Structure 1
Amino acid sequence: MKTDFDVIYMMQSFLALAKYIYLTISLAVISMVLGLTIALALVAIGTYKVRILNPISKVYISFFRGTPLLVQLFLLYYGLPQVAPMFKSMNAYTAAIVGLSMNASAYMVETLRGAISSVDKGQMEAALSIGMSHWKGMKRIVLPQAARVAIPSLGNTFVDLLKSSSLAFTLGVAEILAQAQMSAAATYKFFENYLAVALIYWLIIIFFNRIQRILENRMGHAY
């Protein structure tokens, strides 16, 4: 039976789309770093019950966990400049990073909070008993142990960010999926282009999952 599937074109599309991998990875990596930073700040606010900021942080977490990421991206890129003209200069790439970071941070808060709670309270008590400040105890004793517990969940969050970065094309960011759509529209070879995209994402995620396992083994070696 004759098929219209063009293997050679699919391979050519794969190689052409691979040139834009850096955009997808940069979106995910930068968003992960910013999201983790925001999440740590939110955990600190919740832990120390900072007045005014604590209820605001709860609303923030509820909003970004309770609304679709695509809607959040549209609000940031298309809606925010209408109510705050200073954001009109924000480009699509920046808006995508901000949206992905804020969305991911709302999920990472619970991961970090749970990881910190899993560390025996006696660890902090011991740190305080030898003259460490609470901050030094967190930095040197609690957080390193919590990191080992949090890595699997944070790894899953990063994988979700990699896949969610494909939504950046809705803002006009010419990443892998956007390039595939333009190519498919021009050639009508939709299956070949989208299969090439799927394979690229699959390989990227396999690569980062491998790094995650190595990191888990290395950090868990002492235990």
Structure 2
Amino acid sequence: MEGLVALTELAAALPTGQLLPVSEEQVGQYLGEDWEFVYRNSDYLLWGTVVTILLTLTSILLGFLAGFPAGAIEAYGSGYSRAFVRKFGVLLRGTPILVIMIFTYFVLPIEIVLDAAQFGLRSIEYVLGPTPFTVPTDVPDAFIAATIALGFRSAAYQSQIFRGALGSIDEGQMEAARSIGMSRLSAIRHVIVPQAMRRSVPGFQNEFTIVLKDTSIAFAIGLGELLKRSHDLFTQQTTAVLEVILFISLIYFVLTFGTNRTLDYVSNRFAIPGESS
């Protein structure tokens, strides 16, 4: 209640029609020295938010690119490929993300990974023609390691989301597609997958939120995301620990709330007609 009163007094003290920008002196006067310290360093924290968002997007994309084929293999693959994908997924899901991230940063040769990615991209361009994608070479190793760790761990979970979605499509859909002359692969591609993708949105929404929050684990390898930068601040001014944590908690809440509302819209927009989202 006292904080609300202080915010009200601060707003009332501003010139009419002007709520921003608020000066550091006004924040310090009404909210205290610690909130003034947070306000003064808000740009530093917001740049950490940018890193968090980028890490989330790259990780979830890598997880999708690896997880969807893995889910399809588990649903329709042969015995050996299915067993390999299943065991690898169990290994990733059963290993703490902190252990995976430390392994990718301190053990995995990042340069070899980048070379492999460049080779893969050149191979795709050789087959399909020029693409707008490039493999950056100036990205910090910590960011790449965190993306690999979060991405493949997410792929292990996304594979189960997509496997379940593929398995939820009635077998009659496949039989109907085959009866009109479609091959098994064409039926999966044009009939089963579009419906499974729609049904997987709620599970994907949950996974997206988990990856967003798990980006904070990158603090362990020194990546300057939101939690790492908040730690940098409250070690400078130890009395502002609570204020910094409250500020970044608000940022995480805004990110997760916005993500959930966006994916709720996507789920409702692309839901299979006649099915409840």
TM-score by length of 2: 0.72
**1:135 maps to which of 166, 185, 195:** 185
CA–CA separation in structure 2 for the residues paired with 1:62 and 1:138: 25
Kindly indicate whether the alpha-carbon contact (under 8 Å) linking 1:39 and 1:108 is maintained by their aligned counterparts in 2: yes
Find the residue that maps to 1:206 and give its secondary structure: helix
Mapping of residues 202-217 of structure 1, within 5 Å: 202-217=253-268
Q: Which residue of 1 aligns with 2:242?
A: 191
Quote the residue 2:196 is aligned against: 146
Letter in 2 for 1:18: L
Matched AA of 1:6: D
Cα distance change on mapping 1:57 and 1:5 into 2, 3 Å: farther
> CA separation in 2, counterparts of 1:48 and 1:54?
8
Contact 2:45 2:229 in 1 (8 A): yes
Cα displacement string for residues 189-220 of structure 1 (whole angstroms, at most 9, x for unaligned residues): 21111111111010001111110111111112
Distance 2:111 2:62 in 1: 24
Q: Does 1:31 align with 2:59?
A: yes
Q: Secondary structure at the match of 2:233?
A: helix
The structure with the largest alpha-carbon Rg is 2
Distance 1:200 1:85 in 2: 33
Larger fraction in helix: 1
Query: Which moves more between the two structures, 199-208 or 32-41?
Result: 32-41
Aligned AA for 1:216? S
Contact in 2 for aligned 1:61/1:106 (Cα 8 Å): yes
Matches within 5 A, 1:94-173: 94-173=144-223
Taking the aligned partners of 2:256 and 2:195, their CA distance within structure 1 comes to: 26
- C-alpha separation between the residues in 2 aligned to 1:187 and 1:113? 49
**Whole-angstrom CA distance in 1 between matches of 2:114 and 2:182:** 47
Structure 2 residues not aligned, in runs of 5+: 3-30, 116-139
After superposition, the CA RMSD in angstroms is 2.5
Instruction: Measure how far apart 1:85 and its partner are.
Output: 8.5
| TM-score normalised to structure 1 length | 0.88
Closer/same/farther in 2, CA of residues 152 and 58 from structure 1, 3 Å limit: same
User: Once the two structures are aligned, what percentage of the paired residues are identical?
Assistant: 30
1:156 is aligned with what amino acid? N
User: Residue 201 of structure 1 is aligned with which of 252, 259, 267?
Assistant: 252
Task: Please say if residues 14 and 193 of structure 1, whose CA atoms lie closer than 8 Å, have aligned partners that are also in contact.
Answer: no
State the number of aligned residues. 220
